[in-house]
């Protein structure tokens, strides 16, 4: 049967005759297409008050080409696995589009065999409240214009829905090991692992998708030694493991559907796994909860209660509701930021009378790579070392190319192995191992320890045990327990928190980062000091280096328009979103700007799986002529100067110096608006977009390119003026020096 509406065309090709359901499981199958180019983002069926989630977006060879004019994605097919209960009388099918609106597209009366199981007991309000209240509040932060009751309905509908996950059918055999009910998300990417083999054919490729418009390849053919002897007859079972990532689109509603497909050596493509999951962000941007408030909590709890009533769910009695409220409040209070003000900030110290007294500084940085935080501490250390009476030594647990830069600037570097201390599982174990690891550091000739980044928390403890004053510079904008969740034992989390209290001062360059750690500022030892940009050095470089010469130096087209993304190539920096935005733009740019070569450059490539996946994606999308990588380099000023448009796609940044420097170079700027970036630069100075949203990023890139071709430099000039007014090094660095001397002298 086919249902036609102006918005949707639905075909249900498999269903029980006369809509008379037998006892047990029944399949519905068909396809769905929108003449108005709406994109399906979920599909579900209601049997009376029960919700069943579909496996949608499945390939329909032949039909995909007819309606989409190409093989897809998006794919048109779907399957629905139903198990109606005895007495059920109504079936409804709803589709959700890219605007997050659910639309009913089909309904019919049904009959169900009398020997079918009865309706299972529904979830109650007390059952749902503790797990869904924070979810509702985060959704409200993401969609502030949406009515709270509508958001509550979305949450409750998802919570009561019955997923029907799919496993391989013979002759396929395998297991999807991650995600399960929870999917771990790092910087907008879902981790996927498992194994798959076929009885007769060789599997040539495995792909996966969450986004209805994007299908990504997984790395397949890895060794799998634990596939038992019962699978010995499968082709390639010894190398049947797969691993990889897919992007989780911004504003994806839960429960999310993951689909995995396998391609065989005979050209066939098969749907092998589906898994509904709830995302859990362990790294990257996540909507923060609103500030802790009893009124906010009560409003959200009431909205959920009213929604459960609309869904026909039991409200529960007070004996059940009371402990649910206590549990929900505990979870909310643990994650919601406290209402705080700048009252927690310590006052800035005045300059010491003897500003040239001897000061021996030991700088501890988390690594020596060409990255933003190590460059930050290098410039601070160099400034300190140039002051009368100040000497600087550097210590790091990881070597890197910046070691030579420190050494050539007259600051000796010592490597220290703190791995055993970071592997500890308790405070006592950590302290014992830390003493052994740091015993050889020059404590007798140290007056002040400066620890760079939260990862260097160990240096604050080492300073405390050596009775030395310390400064902790925090560049992160993620709470401790989430930031270190996959790297350190939970027994060390209190140790890291203690570092914030032990430091003489904890220094932030972004107030948004300070607010993340506000609950640790109870000693009133937090300071907010501006970062800096060396405008004189920027201007001197720009005056003596022509962009065309620098392009030739680096093997770039001197006539091309260059859109340059500068930052270590890693998940946090979001280059995968940059590549997807380029893919969205490639056809339009060729049409709108014919004969004008435009290239997209990513500076900061480092070997690893992430770089390999990006290179594979560029090849798969046919972007080889548009997008390319440049290795990490100490010649970063070259790339500001040769760029026409600067891009930052980070999911998380405290106060990125690349934006300060690109603004000083008068570049047109496109950036994600995360953490301290919004404090640094405004919407009339740059094109700002949410993290992880390739559509908004593509639109911003298009507008920036339009401005470039039109010769419109207004945003670039405003950005430079604003940055120099607030962050000129002549104003900022002396404040950091005064604080360092005050802490060393015990004046805090």
Residue reference for tokens 């919004």: 678
Q: HSE (CB half, 13 Å, CA atoms) of 459?
A: 33
| CA–CA separation, 246 and 573 (whole Å) | 16
pLDDT in tens, 522-540: 889 999 999 999 999 999 9
| Whole-number average pLDDT of the chain | 92
Count of CB atoms situated within 10 Å of the CB of 69: 7
Domains of the chain: 2-112 (2.60.40.650), 125-332 (2.60.40.650), 343-532+731-744 (3.40.50.2000), 535-727 (3.40.50.2000)
How far is residue 108 CA from its own chain's centroid?
42
Strands (DSSP E) along 63-171, which ranges? 77-82, 90-96, 102-109, 111-112
Burial 415-442 (b: 16+ CB within 10 A, else e): ebebeebbebeeeebbeebbeebbeebe
pLDDT in tens, 544-564: 999 999 999 999 999 999 999
| CB 630 within 8 Å of CB 568 | no
Share of the chain above pLDDT 90, in %: 75
| CB 77 within 8 Å of CB 30 | yes
240: CB partners within 8 A, 6+ apart: 174, 195, 196, 197, 203, 221, 224, 227, 234
| Mean of pLDDT values over 505-521 | 90
pLDDT in tens, 265-285: 999 999 999 999 999 887 776
Question: For residue 675, what are its two tokens?
Answer: 């953490």
Which pLDDT value is given to residue 303? 97
Cα dihedral 531/659/187/76 (nearest 10) = 160
Return the closest-CA partner of residue 325 out of 128, 155, 147, 174. 128
165/231: higher pLDDT:
165
447/487: higher pLDDT:
447
| CB 652 within 8 Å of CB 675 | yes
Count of CB atoms situated within 10 Å of the CB of 548: 12
| CB 657 within 8 Å of CB 637 | no
Confidence of residue 355 (pLDDT cuts 50, 70, 90): confident
| CA–CA separation, 579 and 123 (whole Å) | 43
pLDDT in tens, 625-681: 999 999 998 899 999 999 999 999 998 888 898 999 999 999 999 999 988 898 999
| CB 634 within 8 Å of CB 609 | no
| Mean of pLDDT values over 598-613 | 91
Instruction: Indicate the SS3 state at residue 297.
Output: helix
- Bond preceding residue 442 cis, omega within 30 of 0: no
pLDDT in tens, 389-443: 999 999 999 999 999 999 999 999 999 999 999 999 999 999 999 999 999 999 9
| Mean of pLDDT values over 187-204 | 92
Which pLDDT value is given to residue 237? 81
Which pLDDT value is given to residue 674? 86
User: Which CA distances in Å does 411 have to 115, 372, 417, 418, 681?
Assistant: 82, 19, 20, 21, 33
Rg (CA), the chain: 29
Confidence of residue 228 (pLDDT cuts 50, 70, 90): low
| CA–CA separation, 472 and 451 (whole Å) | 5
Predicted confidence (pLDDT) at residue 343 exceeds the cutoff of 50 = no
| Mean of pLDDT values over 331-337 | 84
């Amino acid at each position: 049967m086919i249902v036609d509406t102006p918005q949707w065309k639905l075909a249900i090709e498999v269903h029980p005759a006369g809509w008379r359901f037998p006892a047990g499981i029944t399949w519905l199958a068909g396809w769905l297409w929108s003449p108005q180019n709406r994109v399906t983002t979920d599909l579900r069926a209601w049997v009376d008050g029960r919700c069943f989630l579909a496996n949608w977006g499945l390939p329909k060879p032949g039909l995909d080409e007819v309606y989409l004019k190409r093989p897809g994605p998006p794919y048109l097919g779907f399957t629905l696995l139903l198990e109606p209960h005895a007495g059920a009388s109504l079936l409804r099918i709803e589709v959700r589009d890219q605007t997050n609106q659910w639309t009913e597209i089909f309904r019919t009366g049904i009959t169900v065999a009398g020997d079918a199981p009865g309706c299972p007991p529904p979830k109650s309000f007390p059952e749902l409240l503790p797990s869904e209240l924070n979810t509702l509040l985060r959704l409200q932060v993401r969609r502030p214009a949406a009515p709270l009751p509508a958001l509550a309905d979305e949450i409750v509908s998802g919570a009561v829905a019955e997923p029907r996950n799919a496993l391989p059918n013979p002759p396929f055999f395998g297991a999807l090991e991650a995600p399960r009910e929870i999917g771990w998300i790092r910087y907008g990417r879902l981790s996927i692992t498992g194994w798959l083999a076929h009885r007769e054919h060789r599997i040539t490729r495995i792909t996966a998708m969450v986004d209805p418009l994007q299908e990504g390849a997984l790395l397949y053919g890895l060794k799998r030694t634990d596939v038992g002897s019962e699978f010995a007859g499968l082709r390639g079972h010894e190398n049947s493991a797969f691993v990889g990532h897919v992007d989780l689109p911004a504003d994806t509603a839960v429960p999310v559907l993951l689909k995995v497909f396998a391609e065989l050596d005979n050209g066939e493509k098969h749907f092998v796994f589906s898994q509904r999951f709830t995302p859990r962000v362990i790294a990257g941007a996540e909507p923060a909860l609103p500030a802790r408030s009893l009124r906010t909590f009560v409003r959200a709890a009431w909205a959920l209660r009213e929604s459960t009533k609309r869904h026909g769910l039991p409200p529960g009695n007070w004996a059940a509701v009371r402990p649910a409220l206590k549990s929900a409040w505990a979870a909310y209070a643990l994650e919601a930021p406290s209402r705080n003000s700048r009252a927690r900030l310590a006052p800035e110290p005045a300059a010491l009378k003897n500003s040239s007294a001897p000061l021996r500084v030991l700088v501890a940085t988390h690594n020596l790579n060409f990255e933003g935080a190590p460059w930050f501490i290098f410039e601070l250390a160099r400034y300190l070392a140039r002051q009368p009476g100040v000497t600087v030594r550097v210590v790091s647990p990881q070597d890197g190319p910046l070691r030579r830069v420190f050494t050539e600037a007259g600051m000796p570097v010592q490597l220290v192995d703190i791995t055993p201390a970071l592997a500890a599982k308790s405070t006592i174990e950590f302290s014992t191992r830390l003493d052994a690891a740091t015993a050889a550091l020059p404590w007798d000739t140290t007056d002040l320890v400066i620890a760079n980044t939260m990862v260097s928390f160990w240096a604050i403890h080492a300073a405390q045990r050596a009775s030395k004053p310390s400064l902790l510079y925090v560049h992160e904008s993620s709470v401790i327990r989430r930031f270190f969740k996959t790297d350190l034992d939970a027994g060390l989390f209190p140790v890291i928190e203690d570092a914030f209290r032990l430091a003489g001062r904890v220094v932030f360059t972004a107030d948004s980062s300070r607010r993340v750690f506000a609950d640790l500022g109870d000693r009133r030892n937090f300071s907010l000091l501006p970062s800096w940009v060396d405008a004189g050095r920027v201007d001197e470089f720009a005056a003596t280096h022509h962009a065309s010469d620098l392009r030739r130096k680096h093997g770039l087209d001197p006539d091309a328009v260059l859109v340059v993304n500068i930052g270590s190539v890693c998940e946090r920096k979001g280059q995968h979103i940059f590549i997807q935005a380029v893919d969205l733009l490639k056809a339009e740019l060729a049409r709108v700007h014919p004969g004008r070569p435009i290239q997209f450059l990513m500076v900061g490539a480092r070997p690893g799986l992430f770089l390999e996946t990006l290179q594979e994606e560029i090849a798969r999308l046919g972007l080889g002529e548009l997008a390319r990588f440049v290795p990490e380099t100490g010649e970063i000023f070259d790339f500001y100067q040769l760029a026409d448009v600067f891009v930052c796609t980070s999911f998380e940044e405290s106060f990125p110096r690349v934006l300060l420097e690109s603004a000083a170079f008068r570049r047109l700027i496109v950036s994600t608006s995360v953490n301290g970036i919004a404090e640094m630069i405004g919407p009339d100075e740059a094109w700002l977009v949410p993290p992880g949203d390739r559509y908004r990023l593509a639109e911003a890139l298009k507008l920036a390119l339009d401005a470039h071709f039109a010769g419109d430099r207004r945003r670039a000039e405003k950005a430079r003026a604003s940055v120099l007014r607030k962050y000129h090094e002549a104003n900022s660095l002396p404040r950091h020096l005064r604080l360092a001397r005050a802490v060393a002298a015990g004046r805090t």
